[in-house]
Amino acid sequence: MKRIKNLEALFLAAAAMATFATYATAEVPAAATTVQAVSSTPAMQVVVIKGQRLTAAQKAAL
């Protein structure tokens, strides 16, 4: 049983090290470092949802 616990701890330590190594060695793409201008077009679509809350009688009917 102690051997299984040691293997579990070894696996968790290896998984943690692999996770941190992946982030440490990852390259930042060039697109992520550039600043993009904010679009000022007024044609942006806006969704408006209008509704009323259900009454107790309507909730009971469901």
19 domain residue, yes or no: yes
Rounded Cα gap, residues 14 and 21, in angstroms:
10
**pLDDT (0 to 100) of residue 12:** 95
pLDDT of residue 13: 95
Q: Residue 2: what pLDDT?
A: 82
Q: Is residue 13 part of a domain?
A: yes
Give the pLDDT confidence of 8-53 residue by residue, as tens digits. 999 999 999 999 998 888 777 666 556 666 666 677 788 888 888 8
Angle, vertex CA 40, rays to CA 38 and CA 45, nearest 5? 105
Q: How far is residue 13's CA from residue 27's CA, in Å, rounded to a whole number?
A: 24
- Domain assignment present for 6: yes
Domain annotation covers residue 51: no
pTM of the predicted model, to two decimals?
A: 0.40
Quote the number of domains for the chain. 1
Q: Has residue 1 got a pLDDT over 80?
A: no
Instruction: Please write down the HEC assignment for all residues of the chain.
Output: CHHHHHHHHHHHHHHHHHHHHHHHHCCCCHHHHCCCCCCCCCCCCCCCCCCCCCCHHHHHHC
Query: Residue 9 sits in which domain range?
Result: 1-27
Kindly state whether residue 7 falls inside one of the protein's structural domains: yes
Q: Does residue 46 form part of some domain?
A: no
Residue 3 lies in a domain: yes
Q: Could you tell me if residue 42 is inside a domain? A: no
